[in-house]
Structure 1
Amino acid sequence: SSQPAMGWDTPEKGGAAGNLFSSNSIGHLGFTGTSLWIDLDQEIVIALLSNRTHPDPKKNRMDEIRPKVHDLVMKYLLKK
């Protein structure tokens, strides 16, 4: 798992942040699927608002969706 950083998570390979956040990033995941990741080197913030509990909490796919969304947004912002 990622290393805690004063209450924040840090990115890890195959983790929720995706693959494009620098090692100097911090983030937090919420129960309903929300996430906030801040890349301090690249000055990028991504906030993902969601509700994984609606309509069916048993069909939760947020663990696979979060990193894909983060990577798509980072690619756009970094023009990669």
Structure 2
Amino acid sequence: MYKGQVGIWGRASSAAAGSLARYRERARVKDREREARLAEANRAAGTGPRRPPPGVRPRPALPPKPVAEAVEPVPQDDSASR
């Protein structure tokens, strides 16, 4: 084979790579279109973000703490600490 010539295997390999690239691009475009349709349908239906699966429970909200009754502070006797 002479320098600069592309063999049959080289051509076939390039053709296969091109076909695969076109296939992937088509699949990517279809996927984007599907995602856009799905997002639009969700917006139209008014559904929010996905909820956790049924087996997962959210943490219960803690009840508010009761307000402690006001207690006057006990005066400190400074003579004992000296």
Q: TM-score, normalised by structure 1?
A: 0.26
Larger Rg: 2
Q: TM-score, normalised by structure 2?
A: 0.25
Structure with the largest fraction of helix = 2
Which structure ranks higher in relative contact order (CA pairs < 8 Å, sequence separation ≥ 6)?
1
Structure with the largest fraction of strand = 1
